Amino acid sequence: MHVLETPVKEVPDNTRGVRPPWQWKKLAAIAVVSLLIAAFYATGLYRYLTWDAIRANLDDWQAKAAGNLPIALLVFFLVYFLVTSLSLPVAAPISLVAGALFGRWLGTGIVSLASTLGATSAFLMSRYVLRDWVQSRFADRLEGINRGVEKDGALYLFTLRLVPVVPFFLINLGMGLTGMRARTFTAVSWAGMLFGTFLYVNAGTAFGSIDSPGEILSTKVIVSLALLGLAPLVVRKLVQWKVRWKLVVLATAALLVLVGVTAEVRTYFRYQIADTMTVAVREYSNAEYPEDPSGRSVHHRQYDGRTLTLVKKDSSHFDFVFEPQHSHIAKVIFRDVDVSLMTPSLPDRAKTDDGLRRIALTDRQWNRQQVAFGGPDSPHIEITGGDGFEVKNLYSAELAKNCLNAGLWEVLLFTHEGGNKTLYYQGWFTFPLGHYRDMFEHNTGLPYWMHWYYLEHWFDPEGTHVPMEELREVIDEREVPAQFDRNEAVFFAGEQVRKRRTTVDENVRTWGDYFDGRRVRFASFIPPGKYDLGTPWKNEYVRMDRFDKAILRTVKPLGAETPLHELELIFSSTKRDGQCRFFVSGVDFDAVPQLPVSDYPMGLYMPMGIGVPPFYQSYAELQKNPPQMSPYVCVLLDAYEKWIDHHSFAIDGPVIHRDAADPYRLHVYLLSYERHAIIAHLVVPIPSE
C-alpha cells in the first residue's frame, strides 16, 4: 500500500544568533565579577592588603577594633568573604590580621566562618559560570574525573585543604567544575581548613615578629599536614582493594613492634656510657663560623686538634682530659669537676608545683653557664707538653654548658694580650647523655624519662601559671618613681660591643627604637653552640612599648632566713592588650656593686629563671653557691601570673648595679636574646632604711 507523505513546512528559526536568557545571566555574572576585581586593583584597594600596608595600618586597626568590636567583626567578615568569593590571593595575610585584631580563638572563629562561606561562594560562581561550557567541550575527558570525585572527592578535597600547596582560590574554582555537591564542599572545606586557619590566626597574635606569611608553615608542618590529609585516602583505598583486614592488622602490629625495637636500640646507643669514654671535639674554621663574636687572640686556631677523654671518678665528679693530636699542642686536664653543678637541679621551693618545676628545669637547661677554672695554678687545671706556649700563657681554662638542648658543651682556653682576656682555643663536644641522665636524676630525684623531651628539645611552656606566693612571702611593698627615658641614646660595653656584628638592625639610636616595631633581629644560637645570622631571631618588644610603673618589695624567699628585695617592672603596649611584668626577686640590692654606667657589665649580670647560676662564674664561686640554693628568681609574666616565653620574647635577663655617686639609685638594664644588646635602661630609687 502506497502512503502519501505530507511535506513538512519549514518554520524560519528566528532565534538564530540570539543567546538564551541563561547565557545572558552568566555573562552578566562574569561582567560583575570582572568589574569588582578590576575595581579592586584600579582603585588601589589591593595596596591596603599588602604586607607592608598591613604593618603600617595595624595599630590604627587594632585601636578601632578595641573601640567597637561588633562593627570590627562585621567589617572584617565582609572583607574576608568578598576577597575569597572573588578568588583574590590575599587570604593568608588577612588571616594573620584576624589574630592581631581579635586574638587566637575569636579570630579563628571569624576567619573559619568567612573563609568557608567565601569559598562556597567562589565554588558556586565557578559552577554557575563555567561548568556547563567546560563539560560540553571536554565531556569525554572529564567523565573519569567526575566518577573519581563522586567516589573519593570529599577525601581528595580534605587532603588539598590540609596541604597548603595548591592555592586556596584554585581549589574553590576547580571543585566548582566537578560534580561535587555544594553542601559536601562546604562541610569538608570547613573541616580541612580549620587547622591551617588556627595556625595563621595564632601566628597573627605575634604579628610583629613575622616577616612574611610563608614563615608560618615550615617543611615539618607541611609534611605533617600532608600525612594527616592522606590518611583517609589510604584507608579508603585499602577498602576498595578489598585488602584482608586480618593481614592489615598483622602488618600494623609487626610495624609497631619494629618501631618499638628500633626505638629501644636507638635509646640504648644514645644513652650508652662507660666510666672512661672518648668524645669527639668539633672545631670550626673562620670560614665555617664567620659570626663568631669572641675576642680572639692572635694565636687563635694555632692550637686546634684535640679529642676529649672523659673519666668518671664517682657519682658526680669527672676528669675532662683534652688530648693533643699534634706535638706542639699541650694536654689540658680539668680535674675532679663536679658535673652536678652544671646540670639541671631544683630549688626546694619549686619542687611541689608542676609549673614551677617545669619552668625551673627549662630555664636551668636553656641558659648558658660558663665556668672559669683558672690557669695552671688552679688545683683543677693541669697542663703539660706542647711547644711551651700554652703552659706559659694559659690564663683561664673554662667549660660552658650551652643554652641549648641537653649535652651540648664547650671548652674555651684563654690567654692574656694587651691587658685583655683573649680566646685562643674553642671546641664543642657532647657530654654523654647517659651521664647527663644520671646527673639529672641524682640532682632532682625525678625520673629522666618524664622530662627528657623538653630538656633535649625546646618545648615552650608558654602560659604556665607561676604562683609567686609559693616562691616568697611579701613583707612590704611600695610603688617607686622609676624612670625610663626612651630618648636616651643606646650604649654598649663588654660582650655587647663584640656582638654588634651579630645584630641586624637599622637606625636604632635610642631605647625607644627597640620598641616601635621596627625590624631588629639577632643571630640565632644553634647547635652545637654557635651564632648564625642565616636564621635571625626575632623579638616581641612591641608588647612592652610603654613603661607603666615599678614596685619595690621586701620579701622573704621560702626556706630563707634573711629578707631580700624584689623589683617588679610593669610594661604595657600601645599596640597590644595585656601587661608584661618583669620580676627580679631574691636579691640584696644593698650589696649590689656601685658602678658608673659605662661599667654596667660588672654589675649583677644574670639570666632568667628560678635558682639559676650567673652566665659567667668561677668554679670556686659555683662550689660556694650551688644554683639550687640561690634565692634568685627572674621571670616574665602576664597580668594573670602566666609565664611568658622570654626566649621567644628575646629577653635573656637583667643587669643591675647601684649608681657610682648615689647608692640609693639602682640602674636596671634588660638584656636581649643571647645578650647581643641591652634594650632598656631604667633608673629606680631605693629607699634608704
Distance of alpha carbon 7 from alpha carbon 258, whole angstroms: 84
Choose between 331 and 114: higher pLDDT. Answer: 331
Angle at 278 between CA 427 and CA 428, to 5 degrees: 15
Q: Which residues pair with 658 in a beta bridge?
A: 594, 666
More confident residue, 200 or 383: 383
3-state secondary structure string across 155-174: HHHHHHHHCCCCCHHHHHHH
Q: Which residue has the higher pLDDT, 493 or 76?
A: 493
Contact between residue 118 and residue 82 where contact means Cβ atoms under 8 Å apart: yes
User: Residue 402 has what pLDDT?
Assistant: 92
Written as one letter, the residue type at 378 is S
Are 112 and 102 spatial neighbours (Cβ–Cβ below 8 Å)?
no
| 379/158 Cα distance (integer angstroms) | 67
**Residue type at position 72:** A
- 133-183 tens-digit pLDDT: 555 554 554 455 455 566 666 776 776 776 655 666 677 777 777 767 788
pLDDT digits (tens, 9 = 90+) for 376-393: 999 999 999 999 999 999
Residue 453 is predicted with a pLDDT of 86
* Tens of pLDDT, residues 8-19: 455 555 555 555
Burial of 186 (0-12, 13-18, 19+ CB in 10 A): middle
CA dist list (Å): 224 to 159, 221, 457: 12, 5, 18
- State the pLDDT confidence band at 249, using cuts at 50, 70 and 90: low
Q: Which of 52-56, 218-222, 310-314, 480-484 has the lowest mean pLDDT?
A: 218-222
What are the grid coordinates assigned to 158, written together? Answer: 580534605
What is the percentage of the chain residues whose pLDDT exceeds 90? 52
Yes or no: say if 126 and 173 are a contact pair by the CB < 8 Å rule.
Answer: yes
What pLDDT does residue 10 have? 53
